[in-house]
Amino acid sequence: MILLTRKAEFSSAHYYWIDSWSQEENERVFGKCANRNGHGHNYTLEVTVSGEVDPVSGFVVDLKELKEILEREVVSVYDHRHLNLEVPEFKVMIPTTENIAVAIWRRLEGKIPQAKLYRVRVYEMADLFADYYGEIDG
Amino acid sequence: MILLTRKAEFSSAHYYWIDSWSQEENERVFGKCANRNGHGHNYTLEVTVSGEVDPVSGFVVDLKELKEILEREVVSVYDHRHLNLEVPEFKVMIPTTENIAVAIWRRLEGKIPQAKLYRVRVYEMADLFADYYGEIDG
Amino acid sequence: MILLTRKAEFSSAHYYWIDSWSQEENERVFGKCANRNGHGHNYTLEVTVSGEVDPVSGFVVDLKELKEILEREVVSVYDHRHLNLEVPEFKVMIPTTENIAVAIWRRLEGKIPQAKLYRVRVYEMADLFADYYGEIDG
Amino acid sequence: MILLTRKAEFSSAHYYWIDSWSQEENERVFGKCANRNGHGHNYTLEVTVSGEVDPVSGFVVDLKELKEILEREVVSVYDHRHLNLEVPEFKVMIPTTENIAVAIWRRLEGKIPQAKLYRVRVYEMADLFADYYGEIDG
Amino acid sequence: MILLTRKAEFSSAHYYWIDSWSQEENERVFGKCANRNGHGHNYTLEVTVSGEVDPVSGFVVDLKELKEILEREVVSVYDHRHLNLEVPEFKVMIPTTENIAVAIWRRLEGKIPQAKLYRVRVYEMADLFADYYGEIDG
Amino acid sequence: MILLTRKAEFSSAHYYWIDSWSQEENERVFGKCANRNGHGHNYTLEVTVSGEVDPVSGFVVDLKELKEILEREVVSVYDHRHLNLEVPEFKVMIPTTENIAVAIWRRLEGKIPQAKLYRVRVYEMADLFADYYGEIDG
């Protein structure tokens, strides 16, 4: 078994806000992120798949196809978008780095032929990232 | 003479839009950046100052003071803000990388004791940056 | 379960030296690192915690609090210090990258509310790093 | 137990081509990589070993020795070489990132005194890498 | 005046060899690069243009157009190619980092509307790069 | 004319201290850097030379020779050393980033055959660097 990881990037706006909380409560918990005009990041996504190396082609996964899947399922939906306002899953959960990793896992699960989705890593900035390995195991 | 460069970062939302243009014209020129919900970036700022090295302290500029100036004049105003909606200069000019570099120059000019502002470099992403050297010379 | 990782940096001096060994033995094993005037590095620390994402806030851990813990427990003690001369644990063990990772684990264990310390990674330089997962499992 | 990782680099040429396939089939599967004049990359290798920290020296592994092993077993064989034409294992398997990781594992296994080979990671470019943990477990 | 820089990447094979020299002379001057099977690199290209910021659009140059020009004039010709064997200019000059920078300048000069080509920077690896400013001035 | 830049690294200890000042004055000006036990950094050096590209070899400068010069004149003297205690020029000037750049210029000037020393850049950390172009021009 081998793991293969491919990176992609998207630039999005977001904010952290819970409607049922007061402005003070939102600012206490979320700090500057509670600004509802939004701010933004260059997110880096690392998607890792696991599988056996094909003995003929030497590939775990077709790299062009993997790139197209990431583009179609994630980048085209998130890039140059306001996550809270334009991406359905973030109307019901806050687009924290953790939740973005979970959401991307759900978008990709079952979509990659040949290989198994192993890990989704999302960097919000160079000094902060979240890893998600799916429901069972971390 | 020596040049000293200090980096800082800010994460902001922005969009590109000209009110007097039609939606089609905005999208033709600005592409995905014309989405008025906004998107965002982790901007990296490099500020370069020039001066003589102080023969006693070995400094061109007091680094703590320089850091405080960048924080006060730029980062506290731009970071976790929507540039179009919350930063005055971008109500009258579009927050392109070029214009952000010019705007930061204007915010910093004359504010750094001892040394001379030499260059402002702004990275929107790792693969795109603008350099501004002030009005006269590039 | 999800993993969240936060980076921090500290710049410290150190050397490698065992008192009960001769100068020759120290130099044979530790090479240039045996120079007792010391040398130094910009260390990068990556601290990973694991936990469940809070369904309301979207956080595994309060990021501001995590940053303060790293600052208080590690950075304020190690940064701009000579590890051998000023940090208690390195009076009894050599500040190799491996030992620094173990020492930081011990400083952080049990200090992070909500989440579980999962991994401590320490980079001495870009081409050398150590990972520690605690006593039981690696 | 602790993990220690050391990086090394090599710059090599390669191409992807299966003799028993037609030109069209090779180009369909391998795209631009099927160009038999070859192209090339700056590969980055990360070798991770696991072991106990020596209570005296503070090392899992002798770093100078590890560096020499990587140089002798991998870098001197791959660097500034055409992988398909000059490296024996790639006469029988295609030098994909996955296969390079497996091949380096086989070159290093059993060669590192004191510590156990834990993982081989190979970056072909910054946005693509493969991880291999040996035959049993990934 | 402002400078705008855009990065692009290409992965190519090359070797250093002068036909009129003996094998010994080639190896003495070019070292491992004289291996005629070729080796390769991930090259990074930074193209800088200078111009006035358009007071309406905020752009020095149309970024989409600049990207297409780099793709058409350079990346599509160099990427996944053997520079010596497949790129015309390197049949008459050796593809050193210096010569690649000059060759890219010649490919781009006069092709960028609105703005002036200011500098071409080529990284062969992270620790080696060449800058070319055109014929007159450096 | 073309510019060629080569990077090198060294890891050193240093502190900032002026004997004729009181402890309070040193701490006021130099902050944590005034700790006389020392701290340290991974310095990155970028040396830029200018010259004409040799029409036969395609080189501005012999890269192997340039690497040896940097190693002999700078890295072997600074690396794994305490700059204040072991490097002669820093007994009479404080090893600030600015002064290190000037000192390296003086060590390299006139030592590089064929090409002209153009710029010395020294990074103390990723977010702070100094550039020196020699006595006359910056």
Q: Is-catalytic flag, B124?
A: yes
Cα(B63)–Cα(B65) distance, integer angstroms: 5
**Residue D4 scores a pLDDT above 70:** yes
Contact A78, B37 (CB under 8 A): no
- Rounded distance between C-alpha atoms, residue B59 and residue B63, angstroms: 8
Task: Tell me how crowded residue F23 is: count the other CB atoms within 10 A of its CB.
Answer: 10
The Cα of A128 is separated from the nearest Cα of chain C by a number of Å equal to: 5
- Shortest alpha-carbon distance between residue C37 and chain F (Å): 6
How many CB atoms sit inside 10 A of residue C80's CB? 22
Residue of B83, B131, B133, B135 to mutate for E, most E C-beta atoms under 10 A: B131
D65-86 pLDDT, tens digit per residue, is 999 999 999 999 999 999 999 9
- Structural domain range at position F89: 2-132
Q: Can you give the pLDDT at residue B67?
A: 97
What average pLDDT does the segment D86-95 reach?
Answer: 97
Q: Say which residues have a Cβ less than 8 Å from residue C57's Cβ, sequence separation at least 6.
A: A18, A29, A94, A96
**Sign of the CA dihedral running C85, C91, C95, C101:** negative
User: How high is the pLDDT of residue A138?
Assistant: 40
Contact yes or no for C101 and D2 at CB 8 A: yes
The pLDDT score that the predictor gives to residue F135 is: 84
Domain count, chain B: 1
Min Cα separation A43/chain D (Å): 14
Contact B131 E3 (CB under 8 A): yes
Confidence band for C138, pLDDT divided at 50, 70 and 90: very low
**Is residue C114 very low, low, confident or very high in pLDDT (cuts 50, 70, 90)?**
confident
Q: Using an 8 Å Cβ cutoff, are D50 and D3 in contact?
A: yes
F37 in any annotated domain: yes
> Are A94 and C60 a contacting pair at CB < 8 A?
no
Cα angle vertex C38, ends C35, C43, to 5°? 125
pLDDT tens digits for F25-80?
Answer: 999 999 999 999 999 999 999 999 999 999 999 999 999 999 999 999 999 999 99
- Mean pLDDT over D101-117 rounds to 96
* Domain presence at residue B138: no
| Structural domain includes residue F138 | no
Q: Which helix H or strand E contains F49, and what residues bound it? A: strand F39-51
Summarize the confidence of residues D44-51 as an average pLDDT. Answer: 98
Cβ contact D–C (≥3 pairs, < 8 Å): yes
Is F25 one of the annotated active-site residues of the chain?
Answer: no
- The chain-wide mean pLDDT, for chain B, equals 96
Residues of chain F with C-beta less than 8 angstroms from the C-beta of C35? 80-82, 86
Give the model's pLDDT for residue E28. Answer: 94
Strands (DSSP E) contained in chain E are 2-14, 39-51, 116-125, 128-132
Is B80 a catalytic site residue? Answer: yes
Sorting pLDDT into bands at 50, 70 and 90, what band is D138?
Answer: very low
pTM of the complete model:
0.96
Over residues A119-123, the mean pLDDT reads 98
Residue B135: pLDDT band (50, 70, 90) is confident
How many H-runs (helices) and E-runs (strands) does chain B carry? 5, 4
Residues of chain E found within 8 Å of residue F68, distances taken between Cβ atoms? none
pLDDT attached to residue E136: 67
Instruction: State how far the Cα of E53 lies from the Cα of F1, in Å rounded to an integer.
Output: 29
Q: Which among D14, D41, D73, D124 is annotated as catalytic?
A: D124
User: Is B118 strand, coil or helix?
Assistant: strand
The mean pLDDT of chain D is: 96
Give the SS3 label for residue C13: strand
In a domain, C137, yes or no: no
Q: Per residue in A21-80, pLDDT tens?
A: 999 999 999 999 999 999 999 999 999 999 999 999 999 999 999 999 999 999 999 999
CA distances from F37 to A47, C15, D76, F17 (A): 45, 12, 41, 11
Query: Residue D13: what pLDDT?
Result: 98
Greater confidence (A117 vs C135) lies with A117
pLDDT score at F136: 67
Evaluate whether E121 touches E138 at the Cβ level (below 8 Å).
no
- Per the domain annotation, does B137 fall within a domain? no
Within 8 A of C9 by CB-CB distance, chain F residues are 125
Widest Cα–Cα separation across chain D: 61
Q: Which ranges of chain E have pLDDT less than 70?
A: 136-138
Average pLDDT value for residue range B89-108: 97
User: Which pLDDT value is given to residue E57?
Assistant: 95
Q: What is the tens place of the pLDDT at every residue in C61-111?
A: 999 999 999 999 999 999 999 999 999 999 999 999 999 999 999 999 999
Chains in touch with E (≥3 Cβ pairs < 8 A): B, D, F
Percentage of chain F beyond pLDDT 90 is 96
Residue B37: CATH number of its domain: 3.30.479.10
Say which of E37, E80, E125 has its CB closest to residue D32: E80
Q: pLDDT at position D135, please? A: 84
Q: Summarize the confidence of residues B85-114 as an average pLDDT.
A: 97
Reported ipTM: the value is 0.95
Could you give phi then psi for residue F11, rounded to 5 degrees? Answer: -115, 120
Inter-chain touch F98–B7, beta carbons under 8 Å: no
Interface of D with E (CB under 8 A): 9, 11-14, 32-33, 35, 37-42, 79-82, 85-86, 125-126
Does residue C96 lie within any of the structural domains?
yes
Q: Residues near A43 by Cβ (< 8 Å), separated by ≥ 6?
A: A9, A10, A11, A12, A78, A100, A122, A123, A124
pLDDT class of B136 with cuts at 50, 70, 90: low
What pLDDT, in 10s, does the model give residues B38-86?
Answer: 999 999 999 999 999 999 999 999 999 999 999 999 999 999 999 999 9
Q: Is A137 a member of any domain? A: no
Cβ separation C41–F42 shorter than 8 A: yes
Whether C138 maps to a domain, the answer reads: no
- Residue pair A40/B40 in contact (Cβ under 8 Å)? The answer is yes
Comparing CB atoms, the residue among B18, B95, B101 nearest residue E2 is B101
In the numeric block, which tokens belong to residue E7?
């990065």
Residue E37: closest C-alpha in chain D: D82
